[in-house]
C-alpha cells in the first residue's frame, strides 16, 4: 500500500530506511465508497490526501446549483484543499469519490512535525505546491484562451486514461462546456483520429 507514495516522493527526495519508516508511520488509511464525500464546502480541510486507488473530483457549486469541476485526482495524485489545510479556514470546495477509493492521509500536526524531523520534506512539499500552481495557471490560461475543442484535445493528451473512467458530464464540467457540446467535440475528434 505504501509503495506508491514512496515512489511518488522518491521523484524529488531520497529517504533513508529510517526516514521512510517514520514517514509511513504518520499516515492513516481512509476508504470512500463511490459518491461519498471526502470534504464538503464550508468544512476545514484537516488532512492532506494521497490517492492509492480510485478517482475523486474537486468541485464548486454556483448559485444556480451548477457544478464546476476544478480537478480530478487518480492513483499517485495528492488531493485536498491546500488553502484550507494551510490556513485552517473553511473550504470553498467539495471533494467526493467518483469510484470506490482508498487514500492515505496526513493531518496538520503530523505534517508540521514531519518538516521538523525530516527537513527535506519541506523541499518535497514545495515541489508539490509549485506543480499545483503551474497546473492551475495552465488551467486558467486554457479556459481564457483556448476553444472548447482545444481544451478537450489538451485534456486527452494530458490525461489519456482518465476519459474511460469519468462520466461525460464530469469531463464537460471540467472543460466548462455542456455535455452536448462535448459529445459533438468527441465525435469529430474520433472521426479525425480514425481517418489519420
Record the cell numbers describing residue 25, joined without a space.
508511520
Please name the residue that has the C-alpha cell 457549486.
61
Q: Which residues of the chain have pLDDT under 50?
A: none
Domains of the chain as residue ranges with CATH: 3-118 (2.60.120.10)
Are 81 and 58 in contact by the 8 Å Cβ rule? The answer is yes
Collapsing DSSP to helix, strand or coil, 116 comes out as: helix
pTM listed for this prediction: 0.90
Please name the residue that has the C-alpha cell 485526482.
73
For the four alpha carbons of 162, 168, 170 and 174, in that order, the dihedral sign comes to: positive
Record the cell numbers describing residue 3, joined without a space.
509503495
- Which CB contacts under 8 angstroms, 24+ apart, belong to 67-73? 67/173, 68/173, 68/176, 69/170, 69/173, 69/174, 70/174, 71/174, 72/98, 72/159, 72/162, 72/166, 72/170, 72/174, 73/49
- pLDDT score, position 189: 79
- pLDDT score, position 162: 85
Record the cell numbers describing residue 118, joined without a space.
525530516
- pLDDT score, position 132: 87
- pLDDT score, position 196: 55
Q: Specify the DSSP class assigned to residue 161.
A: T
Q: Specify the DSSP class assigned to residue 105.
A: E
Q: Cα–Cα distance between 170 and 179 in angstroms, integer?
A: 8
Q: For strand 67-74 and strand 94-97, is the pairing parallel, antiparallel, or unpaired?
A: unpaired
Amino acid at each position: 500500500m505504501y509503495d506508491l507514495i514512496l515512489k511518488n516522493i522518491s521523484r524529488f527526495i531520497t529517504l533513508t530506511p529510517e526516514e521512510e519508516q517514520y514517514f509511513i508511520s504518520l499516515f492513516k488509511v481512509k476508504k470512500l465508497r463511490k459518491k461519498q464525500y471526502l470534504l464538503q464546502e464550508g468544512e476545514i480541510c484537516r488532512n492532506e490526501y494521497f490517492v492509492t486507488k480510485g478517482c475523486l473530483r474537486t468541485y464548486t457549486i454556483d448559485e444556480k446549483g451548477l457544478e464546476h469541476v476544478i480537478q480530478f485526482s487518480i492513483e499517485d495524485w495528492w488531493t485536498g484543499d491546500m488553502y484550507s489545510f494551510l490556513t485552517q479556514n473553511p473550504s470553498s470546495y467539495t471533494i467526493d469519490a467518483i469510484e470506490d477509493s482508498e487514500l492515505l492521509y496526513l493531518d496538520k500536526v503530523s505534517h508540521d512535525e514531519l518538516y521538523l524531523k525530516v527537513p527535506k520534506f519541506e523541499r518535497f512539499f514545495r515541489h508539490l505546491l509549485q506543480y499545483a500552481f503551474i497546473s492551475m495557471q495552465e488551467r486558467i490560461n486554457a479556459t481564457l484562451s483556448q476553444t472548447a475543442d482545444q481544451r478537450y484535445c489538451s485534456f486527452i493528451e494530458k490525461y489519456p486514461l482518465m476519459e474511460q473512467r469519468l462520466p461525460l458530464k464530469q469531463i464537460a464540467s471540467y472543460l466548462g462546456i455542456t455535455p452536448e457540446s462535448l459529445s459533438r467535440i468527441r465525435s469529430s475528434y474520433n472521426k479525425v483520429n480514425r481517418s489519420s
